[in-house]
Chains A and B, each alone.
Chain A
């Protein structure tokens, strides 16, 4: 930890500031009591959110996904908070874990700026459309809309968990059999230094047309459900566009931040992003994201992946059950 602090002095400043901030907020709390929540209760909620967010960020970074994949489903499954509020906060969670990783990935040359800007347009457009659709659905359908969102999100989580189980099919250095004329024209060629091999690895991305279409879908899903899209960006870059796994993972963090930035503004302007709830989650993502990125090399990522798979399945059952309960007016005793 001390080495980490020396290596990343800004992390020490942020952690120090957070400790002082939460101490001062707790010790000199002036927040008045509200119906159902005392001023001290409000502080405990904020502190707990920050701690939980830091833990989620560390797990998410090690598992190679955005924090939104854990935050949004868990909050939707196990709390009564309005789904629009959860989704807007989920986008902040997903975005800030991507934001802090963008700098190191770009400086090391792992994220390919050409791939990033090619994929950015569909993912940004999709994300914006998704957030507009989420707000429209919430206004038009109310509780039924929330039930549909929970049910669909539950099904998507099952899909993501399966994707993680068969994730072994991700290829470190995918074989490129044929480069289509369009891919050759776009020319997403690059090279990076692979530390583990001690060699320069050259690559060329293919099927970039199909990849662009899939990114539109990934962006929409991320913006609509407030998940971010890290879980889907890596498979599209690696399996569809034949980009090396390391470049795909680094590009995923950068694209996540870029795509979500356009998706968040409609929520902010609608008043669906509430700072009192979102700020501790955002701060936890920044601190946990930096810590996770640096301890990644020293932990067994597979163990974290198993934890994530179990969490995703458990949460999906609860989400599907809650969605069906509201839609059909029945009671399903799950969890």
Chain B
């Protein structure tokens, strides 16, 4: 059996579930990039910032391990939490929030796409697959799986 092509057929309808997913992701990514840029500006324009970007960058380029990089930067290494939420007033915290928003946006996009599959397109099987994919990502976001990492 070969993949068939047909030049008399009208263009196939583009699934709404795909468009919904793509649009949420696209605009969410652009919003997250803008927030990250604003965060970076704040980082560089704040004298004696609570979390110093120069200390972080210097230690990163020295080749320090994760613990060593955070030591002396103004904040201890995060230990399994969404640390940037409590640091939104700092440039570094806002920048991290922007990046995290871009990573997070996948979850509502998958759920909205699944909803469209259930309600408008009548594709329950793929809707269920989408829900499972979203649940695994939520488990990772919330840190529900046992972690191999230790503090300190």
Q: Residues on A close to B: CB < 8 A?
A: 10, 14, 17-18, 21, 24-25, 28-39, 41-43, 45-46, 79-82, 84-85, 92, 95-96, 99-100, 102-109, 111-114, 116-118, 120-121, 124-125, 128, 132-133, 135-136, 138-139, 142, 173-177, 179, 190-194, 197-204, 242, 244, 254, 257-258, 260-266, 268-280, 282-283, 286
Is B61 a contact partner of A37 (Cβ separation < 8 A)? yes
A-side binding surface: helix, strand, loop or mixed?
A: helix
Contact of A258 among B38, B40, B70, B110 (CB under 8 A): B110
21 contacts between A and B (CB under 8 A): A24-B44, A30-B49, A31-B43, A31-B54, A35-B58, A36-B62, A80-B61, A82-B60, A82-B64, A102-B21, A103-B26, A107-B14, A109-B15, A111-B22, A118-B126, A136-B148, A199-B9, A202-B5, A265-B140, A266-B147, A286-B33
Min CB gap A105→B, angstroms: 7
Cβ contact within 8 Å between B130 and A31: no
Tell me whether A201 and B126 are in contact (CB under 8 A): no
User: Which residues does chain A contribute within 8 Å of B148, judged by CB atoms?
Assistant: 132-133, 135-136, 139
B150–A139 contact, CB under 8 A?
Answer: yes
* B63 contacts the other chain (CB 8 A): yes
Q: B93 → chain A, closest Cβ, in Å?
A: 8
Is A266's CB under 8 angstroms from B25's CB?
Answer: no
Given known A-B contacts A14-B33, A31-B49, A269-B82, A108 and B40 have beta carbons under 8 A apart:
no
Given A21-B37, A200-B9, are A30 and B54 neighbors across the interface (CB < 8 Å)?
no
**Contact present for B17 and A113 (CB under 8 Å):** yes
CB contact between B37 and one of A17, A29, A95, A277 (< 8 Å): that residue: A17
Q: Given A121-B129, A200-B12, is A269 in contact with B57 using a C-beta cutoff of 8 Å?
A: no
Report yes or no: A270 in contact with B78, Cβ–Cβ below 8 A: yes
Given contacts A128-B136, A132-B147, A174-B3, 13 further A-B contacts (CB under 8 A): A14-B34, A31-B49, A81-B63, A99-B105, A100-B26, A102-B26, A107-B23, A199-B6, A201-B3, A203-B3, A258-B137, A278-B99, A279-B98
- Evaluate contact between A113 and B113: CB separation under 8 angstroms: yes
Which chain B residues border A270 with CB–CB below 8 Å?
66, 78, 80, 147, 149
Contacts of A24 on B, CB cut-off 8 Å?
Answer: 41, 44-45
Instruction: Contact check, B48 vs A113: say whether CB atoms are below 8 A apart.
Output: no
Give the contacting residue for B44; candidates A17, A31, A244, A271; CB below 8 A. Answer: A31
CB distance from B89 to the nearest CB of A (A): 14
- Judge whether A45 and B3 touch: CB under 8 Å: no
Known: A269-B81, A279-B99. A34 touches B129 (CB 8 A): no
Q: Does B100 have its Cβ within 8 Å of any Cβ on chain A? A: yes
Q: Are A202 and B3 in contact (CB under 8 A)?
A: yes
Contact of A104 among B22, B49, B110, B137 (CB under 8 A): B22
Are A276 and B30 within 8 A (Cβ)? Answer: no
User: Which B-chain residue is minimally distant from A86 (CB atoms)?
Assistant: B60
How far does the alpha carbon of A201 sit from the alpha carbon of B33 in the complex, in Å? Answer: 36
- Choose among B15, B49, B96, B113 the residue that contacts A275 (Cβ–Cβ < 8 A): B96
Chain B hits for A39, CB < 8 A:
54
Cβ–Cβ contact B140 & A42, under 8 A: no
Identity of the chain A residue whose Cβ is nearest the Cβ of B26 in the assembled complex: A103
Taking A202-B6, A261-B137 as contacts, is the C-beta distance between A103 and B23 under 8 angstroms?
Answer: yes
A129 nearest CB neighbor, chain B only: B145
B54 and A193 within 8 A (CB): no
In the bound assembly, the distance between CA atoms of A268 and B85 in angstroms comes to 12
Neighbour of A109 across the interface among B12, B23, B77, CB < 8 A: B12
Inter-chain CA distance A133–B147, complex, in Å, is: 10
Chain A residues contacting B81 (CB-CB under 8 Å) are 269
Bound CA–CA A81/B56 (angstroms)? 12
Name A242's closest neighbour in chain B (CB-CB). B3
* 9 residue pairs, one from A and one from B, having the closest CB atoms: A103-B26, A106-B22, A136-B148, A80-B63, A37-B58, A109-B14, A113-B18, A275-B95, A261-B106
